[in-house]
Structure 1
Amino acid sequence: MSTPTKDIQTTVDDGLAKVPLGKRLVGANTFWIALVLLALIIVFTVLAPGNFATLFNLQTTLIETSVLLVISVGMTFVIITAGIDLSVGSVLIFAGMVAGKTMEALSPGGNATTAGWGVIIVGMVAGVLGGTIWGLINGWLIAVAKIPPLIVTLGTLGAALGAALLLNNGSDVRSVPTVLTKTLGYGTSFGGVPNLVLVAVVITLIGAWLLHTTKFGRYTFAIGSSAEAARRSGIGVTGHLLKVYLLTGFLAGVAGFMSLAYYSSTTVSAHATDNLNAIAATVLGGTSLFGGIGSMLGTVIGVFIPAVLTKGFNIIHVQDFWQRIAVGAVLIAAVWFDQQRRRRRNSR
């Protein structure tokens, strides 16, 4: 006997099968977002041919976006459920701080620079666990206590950041194992591909598989489209939302450890706007703030649009405040486009 969710999925698949591939491609958000990214690359390549389109610039852009991409994977799941998580940047900092303090505590004299892989693994587990706990707190307050996600994550944004600063009296942890920085932070493999990028790619691929091919992903879309309809279809909405926010906290913990490896420090000030950047990247990638729509490929493209804008503006010497205006304008345009598309769909 078929379940309601399987029947819905079958109906959707049958409907898509009747639409020509070319029309589906042109009608997809990801197609147009990819065109925007391609246009930006072409423009900056023409304006600065000897500086923008280089292997070094590509490598640095990939490394700089790796940490943001990991937290954006989690943000994609959250926003598809019609939720929001403003705390991911603070949770990232907290996880990095826990990892750094753990490695210091296990090192002679509190200096972790010469620590080996045993200490590093314990620090990594502690940091990721710290991020996961914040995800669990967010999930419980949102899914079980029924407090709006905006309020919950705004509160945990401040709480997680305050807890992180308390761990080291308001200072950054700067004692990071050298072997960690050389291996994960700046190390390369497979023909010069940075290890940090490989980690981000693997996590993104797992996220794409989870979102687009599993029951977990189908439930995520169903809840974002209509939580009440999903509940009536037999989906455990409360438990699923708890898992989604738990996943987001876990990925913020992973990103915190990656950042620690790259910067050789917790760099609290460098992550002040990571939460907004992750939301912007996800929305730019076509994930709807109203829930029920999104793709992991779109998020990947969305992460690179502001990165390419920033890199290109720096190369052609455009002042920093113009960069912020450009990214903000693109984000507003993406949300406006999403609203117009939903209105057209609802009017049919």
Structure 2
Amino acid sequence: MSITKPPTETVAIGTLDEPKQGFLQRLVRAQAFQILLVLLVIVLIFSALAPDTFAQWSNFRLIIQNASILAVLGVGMTYIIITAGIDLSIGSVLVFSGVVSAIVMRALGGEGWGTALVGILVAIACGIGWGLLNGFLIAKAKIPPLIVTLGSLGMALGLAQILTGGVDIREVPTVLTTTIGYGNILGTIPTISVIALVVVVLGAIVLHFTRFGLHTYAVGSSELAARRVGVKVDRHLIAVYTLSGGLAGFAGILSLSQFSTTAIAGQSQTNLNVIAAVVIGGTSLFGGVGTIFGTVVGLFIPAVLQNGFVITGVQPFWQQVAVGAVLITAVYIDQVRRTAAMRGSSQSLWRKFVSGGRRG
């Protein structure tokens, strides 16, 4: 006599009963799109208040140029925060890389591309070195990212000051300042902004269309689950922090080109500005969520606010207040969404469990 087993139902964890949303619905609900609308509203307000000064291409060009270096740093920071990490050292790594590069170029002498290319390679190599150190200590020594990068922040900045005696180096090859720092493409587009755009596009392609990007999201969503499906988590974390360090080194040579000096004291708030921009743009501090597009939008909010306040005669210190309020709001919205998603997933699983039990 055969025994008939009761029907069973396989429940996929994380599956929701709600119908799939269309592209427009998902676009409207995306935090990056909402932040873009906020940015457009801010631009329209300042354009109405100062149409003859703010709403001019020359002013928009200045805003774009000022945000270019932060955009390069923001690409690396986006990867790191998606993995649920943090990197407080990027500003100091930028300074250290610029200092070492400037010293090497000064020792070589010359104003041509030969010297400049050596300086570019040295800056990137310095950044990669700091990124490798951060990644190794985080992945292998299991030291929290906050502690590791806070320590490397102080070390990199301290070494930069030791190498220079606290005095900025102002000998920068002319080819860097004239071609990259103050150069233009098609007569109106800053060269440094075009370089930053290339970095942003490449960063977005790798994040959204390659296995490396998929593993980045997987590590941030659940490190344990990522290990179980075969992702080499430690190696990937080292690679992500190395990427961020390399981009910080590259940003160091861009900073040298733009300001014609190492600007040791001018990067004290860079790391916090970049982190704020990434989070405002929709990248979750809890990991697993984020886009390069959102980061770029998040970068322009403080840049536009600062520029608009100066033009309209408002104290620029209000920019810090406004950005802080937007940052807190963005994190709060992220928490609300995560809580709602977890509650919806739990309710869906419970309904499936109950309905399956009744059928059984």
TM-score tier by shorter-chain length is over 0.9
* Alignment counterpart, residue 326 of structure 1, candidates 322, 325, 329: 322
Q: Does 1:242 align with 2:244?
A: no
* Alignment counterpart, residue 283 of structure 2, candidates 263, 287, 290: 287
Structure 2 residue identity aligned to 1:68 = L
> How many angstroms does 1:115 deviate by?
1.8
Deviations along 1:142-175, one digit per CA (max 9) or x if unpaired, are 0111100000000000000011111111111111
* Alignment counterpart, residue 182 of structure 2, candidates 175, 181, 186: 186
Give matches, 1:6-25, under 5 Å.
Answer: 18-25=20-27
1:274 corresponds to: 270
Q: Does 1:220 align with 2:222?
A: no
Q: Does 1:90 align with 2:92?
A: yes
Give matches, 1:110-125, under 5 Å.
Answer: 114-125=110-121
Distance 1:31 1:321 in 2: 27
Distance 2:212 2:134 in 1: 19
Consecutive unaligned residues in structure 1, runs of 5 or more: 1-10, 108-113
1:336 corresponds to: 332
> How many angstroms does 1:85 deviate by?
0.1
Distance 1:321 1:310 in 2: 8
Structure 2 residue identity aligned to 1:219 = H
Distance 1:295 1:17 in 2: 24
Q: Does 1:173 align with 2:169?
A: yes
**Cα–Cα, structure 1 residues 179 and 299, in superposed 2: closer, same or farther, change >3 Å?**
same
Q: Does 1:259 align with 2:255?
A: yes
Structure 2 residue identity aligned to 1:105 = A
> How many angstroms does 1:105 deviate by?
0.8
1:41 corresponds to: 43
Runs of 4+ in 1 over 3 A off after TM superposition: 15-18
> How many angstroms does 1:16 deviate by?
11
Deviations along 1:52-110, one digit per CA (max 9) or x if unpaired, are 11011011111100000000100000000000000000000001101100001111xxx
1:70 corresponds to: 72
> How many angstroms does 1:17 deviate by?
9.9
2:358 corresponds to: none
1:152 corresponds to: 148
Deviations along 1:175-234, one digit per CA (max 9) or x if unpaired, are 111221010000011352111001000000000001000000000001100100111111
Q: Please say which of residues 268-277 and 243-252 is displaced more in the overlay.
A: 268-277
Q: Does 1:79 align with 2:75?
A: no
If you compute each CA radius of gyration, which structure gives the higher value, 1 or 2? 2
Structure 1 residue identity aligned to 2:96 = F
Distance 1:158 1:126 in 2: 21
Sequence identity, in percent? 52
Distance 2:303 2:193 in 1: 15
Distance 1:90 1:255 in 2: 11
Structure 1 residue identity aligned to 2:288 = G
Provide the aligned C-alpha RMSD in A: 1.8
1:132 corresponds to: 128
Q: Does 1:105 align with 2:69?
A: no
1:344 partner SS: helix
> How many angstroms does 1:341 deviate by?
1.0
Structure 2 residue identity aligned to 1:316 = T
TM-score using structure 2 length: 0.89
Consecutive unaligned residues in structure 2, runs of 5 or more: 1-12, 345-360
1:4 corresponds to: none
Distance 1:255 1:22 in 2: 36
**Cα–Cα, structure 1 residues 162 and 17, in superposed 2: closer, same or farther, change >3 Å?**
farther
Distance 1:205 1:30 in 2: 16
* Alignment counterpart, residue 196 of structure 2, candidates 190, 193, 200: 200
Q: Please say which of residues 244-253 and 15-24 is displaced more in the overlay.
A: 15-24
Deviations along 1:106-133, one digit per CA (max 9) or x if unpaired, are 11xxxxxx52111111111111101110
